[in-house]
Structures are given as C-alpha cells and as structure tokens.
Amino acid sequence: MKKIKESLAGDLHQIAMVLAVAAALIVFQVINDGRMITSSNLQNIISGNAYVFTISIGMVMVIILGQIDLSVGSVAGFVGMVTAITATDWGWPWWVAVLAGLACGALIGAWQGFWLAKMGIPGFISTLAGMMIFRGLVIWISHSISKPAPRELEWFGAGSLPDWGREATGLNLPTVALGLLGAAAVVVSQVRASARRREENSRHVPVWPTVVRTAFVIAAIGYFTYLFASGNPGTSFPVPGLIVVVLVIFYHVLTQHSRLGRHIYAVGGNKAAAALTGVNVDRTYFFAMLNVALLAAVAGVMFIGRSTAAGPSDGTGWELDVIAAVFIGGAAVSGGVGTVLATIVGGLFMAILNNGLQLAGISADRTQVIKGLVLLAAVAIDVMSKRQGRPSIIGRFMRGSRAAGTPEGPAVTLPVAGPEVFAEANKAAVQPARGGETA
C-alpha cells in the first residue's frame, strides 16, 4: 500500500482531477443515453472550448505570480474585431490581418505589463480598467455591428486535419498518427522517469505501478484516438485542439524546465525572497501579462474563425471561465501554486460539465448555478485536504514517521512576521524601481 502511494507521490492532485474528468464523462454518458462520448460531441467539446484552454494557459502563469488578468475576454474580442475589420473592410490578406491582431494583443499585454511591473498597480485594477477599455473599443471600432471573418480562419477555429486514409481504413490517419505520437511520448517519458527514480532512490522501486499507469494512459489515448479518427468523413482531431496541445507542451516545458518558469514560481511564492535571489521581479510580471494577452489574441482569432464573424460582444465573460479553470486546476489565490497541465484538466472538466448539462436539456441558467457550485466545491475540497492534515493527511502518511524533523509538533506554520518585516520585504521589492537610478 505504501509503495503504491510512493509511486504516485506528487501527482495525487492531478490524478484525482483526471479521475474526476473521467467520472464526469461516464456519468453524462449514462444520463444522456450515450450521446456524450461520441466522435462529433467530443470534437465539439474540443473546438468549442479551445479558446478557454488557450487563455487559461496564460492565466495560470499570471495567477502563479499572485496576480490576475480580468481583461482577457475584452482583449480577445478586440483582437478578433481588429482581425475581421482589417481583413474584411480594409482588404488586408487574411494572414496579415491575423498578424496585426496578434500584434495588437502583444501591445495590449505590454500595456498591462507596464502598469503592473513599472508602476506597481495591481493586475486586478489595471486589467479591470483594461476590461472596460477594450470592450469599449470593440464596440467603438465595430459600431456595434458584427463583421465577417476571413474564411481561411475557419481552419484554425473549427478545422480538421486532411482526411487521408479514410477510404482504405475508415479512419482519419493524421489523427491516428497523432495518437501514436502521443502514446510513444508517454512511454518514453515514463521509462525515463522510472529510470530516474531508480537512480535517485538507492532502495528498490517497484516497476509495476509505472507499467499499470502507462497501460491505462495508453488505453485512454487509444480509445480517444479511435473516437476522433472515426467520426464523420472529413473530420479529425480538431485543429484548434491541436493548437492547444502544442501550446500546452510548449508552456509546460517553459514553466517547469526553464529559468523563466522557475522565476515565475519564485516570485509567486515569495516576491521579496525572489528579488534578493537575483530574480528580476518586474520582468517576470511584464512577461506574464504580455503573454496572457498574446494568448487571448490567439484565442480571439480562433474564435472568430469558428463563428465566421467577429461580434461586438465576443469574449464577454470569458475571463470567468478561464479563471475558474485555473482554480479548479488547483492554483492558489495567494500565488506560487499551479501548473499548466492541471489547469487544462480543470478547463476540460468545466467544458464537459457544460456540454453534458446542455445535452441533458438543462437550461443555461441552471447550468450556471451548477457550474458555480462545482467551482466552489472543487476549491473547498482542495483547501480542506490541505488544511486537515497540515501537511495533508495523505502527505503525512506518505512521509511515514518524522522524516524531515518537523519542528515542534507537526503543524507547518506559515510565515508570520511583524509588520516591520513586511514593510522591509515590500521595500526590497520596490526598491529597484524607485531608488535604483538616483546615483
């Protein structure tokens, strides 16, 4: 028993999340008489929520920093409108229009980043302002009228991969290839991880949990690959889903294995300590704000592609879905905690919930109530599991006896310090901006 826990150590939260997603799928499959897990519905879930997933990748990094961006919905809407107007009204080639839209997103991100990093205005305030400003601008530049989007964008927002091999096999071969690639990646990473565990731990680590886990994951990949590949002719794993997958891989590596990623966690965990460790706090803030706006721009372009037009109210309320995904994914409001992968699972959970309730004929108002309760419950469970044990009950059992020499009883005390210490800490973080150039 202990060994099982050991082999799972660290990803318990993520495993619980994945199980919750699987359970939701199965429950809705039963409730909706098998209409949930079908090729077309899954394709629908993926391409219908790709924009949320995309933005949430950027949002989790902002939230790890202990900040928030409320303007992403407005920014996505604004960028979508800029792209549509430049392409349709001004006659720019579609790809130039897209680049212009993305450049707008980057510029807006730099603007938000400036207020946070250079002026020290909390993200909540500056992006609340941004939310109003860019929503206003969308309506202003569009005169409250929807603009048709370039047709080429449909591929990004709702497109499918080339339908090779359909006649011969009845399957979409590019999707199958992606599935195989994914399975291979899982095998390689698990083999490497278990080799590493063996090397780091001198004692014997059992192999079978890894094998079982890998087998489960591959079976799941195989099943979903089949579903996505065997849909209606002309369909495949959706292109927006593929874009999300690429972004997830890129940002997972960035946050977990690059210096910049480490710095984001360092600043979120303890800004003053990070500053005294040589982390450029301002630059980290600036990057995260710029990045989330850029991803919002990508989401905006994908969205108008799917809906074939840019509307003045596009993106309204998106920030809430995105932030919900991040917190269901286990991020902490106080910063320092969260991952890209868990955020995507959190987003998937919300998407499945939304879709499943819709299929069951539950009206939008009630869906909204249920989503709110689920968000609250998910975060409450997370908070309680952390609080009860201190360190969590699971963590305590897993560590066995007093391994780490817990000081004075098991309570892990949070840093509490007199106000002067905090004042000092704030100074440390503010100083480079304020007094640096005076010399």
**Contact footprint for another protein (CB under 8 A):** 10, 196, 200, 253, 257-259, 262, 265-266, 269-270, 272-280, 336-337, 391, 396-397, 399-410, 412-425, 427-428, 431-432, 434-436, 438-439
121 or 430: whose CB is closer to another protein? Answer: 430
Length of the chain: 439
Q: Minimum CB separation from another protein for residue 263, in Å?
A: 9
Contacts of 261 (CB under 8 A, 6+ apart): 254, 255
274 or 344: whose CB is closer to another protein? Answer: 274
91 or 409: whose CB is closer to another protein? Answer: 409
240 residue type, one letter: P
Q: Minimum CB separation from another protein for residue 267, in Å?
A: 9
Q: Minimum CB separation from another protein for residue 341, in Å?
A: 17
176 or 279: whose CB is closer to another protein? Answer: 279
Of 304, 300, 307, 350, residue with least CA distance to 325 = 350
2 or 143: whose CB is closer to another protein? Answer: 2
Count of CA atoms in the C-beta half-sphere (13 A) of 172: 24
Q: Minimum CB separation from another protein for residue 438, in Å?
A: 5
**CA-CA distance, 72 to 109, in Å (whole number)?**
10
Q: Minimum CB separation from another protein for residue 334, in Å?
A: 9
What distance lies between CA 234 and its chain's CA centroid?
Answer: 29
38 or 280: whose CB is closer to another protein? Answer: 280
Q: Are 174 and 228 in contact (CB under 8 A)?
A: no
Q: Where are the alpha helices (DSSP H) in 114-172?
A: 123-142, 154-158, 166-169
Strand partners, 148: 309
Q: Minimum CB separation from another protein for residue 421, in Å?
A: 5
Q: Are 122 and 61 in contact (CB under 8 A)?
A: no
Q: Minimum CB separation from another protein for residue 432, in Å?
A: 6
173 or 254: whose CB is closer to another protein? Answer: 254
Contacts of 347 (CB under 8 A, 6+ apart): 49, 52, 53, 56, 321, 322, 325, 328, 329
**CA-CA distance, 180 to 252, in Å (whole number)?**
20
Start-to-end CA distance of the chain, whole Å, equals 63
Output the six-digit token pair for 209.
């949990």
Q: Minimum CB separation from another protein for residue 60, in Å?
A: 15
Of 299, 306, 300, 177, residue with least CA distance to 237 = 177
119 or 439: whose CB is closer to another protein? Answer: 439
Residue with tokens 């991969």: 161
